Structure 1
Amino acid sequence: MKHFVTATILMVLLIASFSMESCTKKSDEAIDGGALAKDTWAIIQDDILTLSCATSGCHGSTSDANYAQHNLLLNSTNAYDNLINIISKNPEAKKASLVRVKPGDYMMSLLFQKIDCQTPAKYGATMPLGGTNLTSGQIEFIKQWIIKGAPKKGSVVDENILTSNTVCSQAFVPMTAPATTEGFQLAINAFTVRAKTEREVFVNRTSPNTSTVYVNKITMQGRPNSHHFVLYGFKSTTSLPPVNTLRDLYNTDATINITTFAQMQNHIFLGGGTDVNTTYTFPEGVALKVPPATAFDLNAHYFNIQNTNLIGENYINMYTVSQANVVKEAQSINFANYNFSIPATSRKTITTNFTFDKEVTVITLTSHFHKLGEKFQIKILGGTRNGEVVYENTDWEHPVVINLAKPIQLKAGEGLTSVVTYNNTTNKTVNFGLTSEDEMNIIFGYYH
């Protein structure tokens, strides 16, 4: 009897132990069918980042042409450590104290800001750039993961969120034009960018002012997937392109439109760049003089890697001040090196000197190069500050624009030096050119 009681007790304990183990296992299982739930981070990596972001030319490897600009790999080996509490190279995100992913705070996480197409464009273009936006479910899934602390292990977000597969669409609303007493608006009206192509267009617009005005602020706006938006004036007004006509840089067979290309040689840079949603304000007392009915050439460049057509559309507001408030007239800097080449699979630094033929005060500097550009430095040439680095940019998509707190005083014969480093990861020589596959080397800015 004693042995029977002992055996019975042991049997009860074994059954209880098995039951407890079963409950524990069930608590670790997905609610929807018995299989162990996949880690939330693993889903983000495998089903979102790997497919949409860690692709060739974007965030796939250090050999990607864009890597020097963002220093962000999103492949399965590096992504998590490259995101959590890491400071971004995006200058506007730095100013706002954002990090790539801040556990618990999606609004202070640049990753969320970049994938949510409904978020105002404060930090550059929506990602994936040139591709299809993420779905509302994918965006919400990442948002909830961040809110839950952005863990690497554990299932912390309901996978059913991912069933919401509507692609995020950005409602583009043209900005309001200034009142006629405060300025004017110019535009490139909506045009089509065909699937798997890029398109660069120009439109010659005439300013509506009937008397000379002085512009002290320029605000620009463009649709997603725009490589750049630039405002040009013309060196000579004797032979201008047709007014209000969309002109393509490339023909339908991808060859350069010779007429448009020739018209570009008459350009003077007046504003804009690769950040198409931006505002530039001149220093106090400085403004750009705009005579009546001035001809402006608006230039937009879009690229589309999707299987469907996209729409391009751009606006620029030019805000004016009374002439009585203008002490100095702004003049445009357009220093370009048109004659250089970068051998295949090589890194090369190109130094170019530019000089002024009169005494000037430089008030604003920015730069322009393409995706092979790693670093663009501007140094002072001549004078007591000779060789001083006054500008540096490592982000070709969002070049830094500096309104100089300490203006650069230069005498005739002195000037600026560009020191530009390129990393040609392609298997062909790259030269100066007008497409996103070519390169550029230009100092833009203003002086008076």
Structure 2
Amino acid sequence: MEIKVLKFGGSSLADSNQFKKVAAIIKSKDSRRYIIASAPGKRDSGDQKITDLLYESYILSQKNEDIDEIFKKIEDRFNRIIEELELDFSLKDEFKKIKSSIYNHIGMDYILSRGEYLNSMILAKYLGYDFIDAEKRILFSEDGTLDRQNTDLVLGELLKKHKRAVIPGFYGSMSDGTIKTFSRGGSDITGSIVARAVEADVYENWTDVSGMLMADPRCVEEPKVIDLITYKELRELSYMGATIMHEEAIFPVKQSGIPINIRNTNLPEDKGTMIVAKARSENTDRIITGIAGRTGFTTIHIEKDMMNQEVGFGRKVLKILENHSIPFEHIPTGIDTMSIIVNSNLMVDNKEVIKNEICKTVNPDIIDIEDGLAMIAVVGRGMVEEKGTAMKVFSSINKASINVKMIDQGSSEINIIIGVDEKDYILALRTIYSEFVE
């Protein structure tokens, strides 16, 4: 029997109407057996997420201030969902326990996790599924990282005993039993962990968009949806800021070869985006899969005659950055030149110090440090077999009178990265997208 694990985000479970949509999706296929629920998200632009309300309650309690008013909002939100779903169910005792925990300054992770916990209890009741608390099932090591091996063992054995279940997202527990949360958006990770533990055929991640878009809709008007993308392509686009789910959620299912299907709760008939381990380059009608970019980069440009013959030159320069805890993004080089691209935020307070250290250590002929660089990644498995892709990228940029300041192509040949002035960033994105898509 096919097994599907489904994760529903906060917008998908924001109110009773959304609960009904979610239930219809789950019940439409018998294979949809394990459900991961997020805390209720915003119902509209002026609304507050339950997790934010819980955080506010926690902060007020730390200041020894009254939380009755804000906690009443939390209770009312959940009670309204229960009432409108006509459930014979009460969270009164749970509310009392959580409120007491806040006043007694129980750990913040515990408080923040209660939105997922309560929402999952309601969803399990509404569906008639078993409720399985993530506490003591998703396990963290003493250093705060996920204990993958023991989690797979404990969770896998438990879920074999439950044909259908709802599991709260976002949290697990440490070895001492205290609650530990993932970073925001961590329900994606929980879904991925559950999918691997039950050896699912598909991990469906339901949200409020119909898949991953080929470009940022804030920069490109109505970009097309990506039908199929590989984990490798997704990694390249995610690095440049294209996000559709928590990045850490990719690895558990990637290692197990489980595909992810990004779907829209509000438009369940849309097929969304399928994320897979491998796809043949010829099995696509598009040369590129997507375009993404980021601003806020700094270039450290170094020139020195006979640099290529000076053993350890690059290592010495990178060691200086390492000593300042600055990772590099890219290193385009020539025979006598070396450029290092770094995040501008990491250079703000020590730019001159680093420049002086480089001068003292490797004695360059020229060194310039320039801010205001934007980087754009053009990604696609179709580029491997297609001749002239780079020419199309640079031709489109040239026609828009944009100066290219950096070029880098990965050895996998599925991406081309270019650097442009930040002032040209949006125009460059639009120009490249139009060249390949429109």
Q: What band does the TM-score fall into relative to the shorter chain?
A: under 0.3
Q: Which has the higher helix share?
A: 2
Q: TM-score, normalised by structure 1?
A: 0.23
> Would you tell me which structure has more strand in proportion to its own residues?
1
Structure with bigger RCO (C-alpha 8 Å, 6+ apart):
1
TM-score (norm 2): 0.24
Q: Which has the larger radius of gyration?
A: 1
